[in-house]
Amino acid sequence: MPIARLLPTQLHSRSAWTACLLAVPMTLLAALTLAACGETPTEADSPDPPDVADAIENQTIEADAGSVELELSEVFTTSADEPLTYDATSSPSDAVNAFVDEATLIVEPLEVGTAAVTVEAENEGGTAETNFQVEVILPDPPDRP
């Protein structure tokens, strides 16, 4: 009979009291055993969020120079080298196109101007981000004779 159904008048026998006294510790023991066996996730099981190990410095790119590539594994780290997913955005997006290919940030100049680029790294533990400015400039004119 479940503990909730036992009324004080039913607890007059020694065996009923014994059943009640053993039921509570046994329930706690079962819950602790399941937790110890990994049946219920705890905060200790979650990986640490990534950190910005080496922030990206502001960049200046000539409009005709082509794209700039940066390895994001050098920018973000995790405590136990958990896999990270990356994302990049630029604003305004008419000056540069910023995107991620696997773990490489690619910044393509589109037109002369300045854009803010945000790069995020994420794992199950959380998200980290770094921001930097990209200035797209005209190339130097060729030397005249």
pLDDT in tens, 93-104: 899 999 999 999
**Nearest CA to 110 among 123, 92, 95, 124?**
95
143 pLDDT above the threshold of 80? no
Q: Quickly list DSSP for 70-114.
A: EEGGGTEE-TT----EEEEEEESTTTEEEEEETTEEEEEE-SSEE
Structural domain boundaries in the chain: 3-36, 51-137
- d(Cα 110, Cα 112) in Å, to the nearest integer? 7
pTM confidence score:
0.66
Give the containing element (helix H, strand E) for 33.
helix 14-36
The domain made up of 51-137 is a member of CATH 2.40.10.10: no
Among the residue ranges 23-27, 92-96, 133-137, the one predicted with the least confidence is 23-27
Are 124 and 47 within 8 A, CB to CB?
yes
131 pLDDT above the threshold of 70? yes
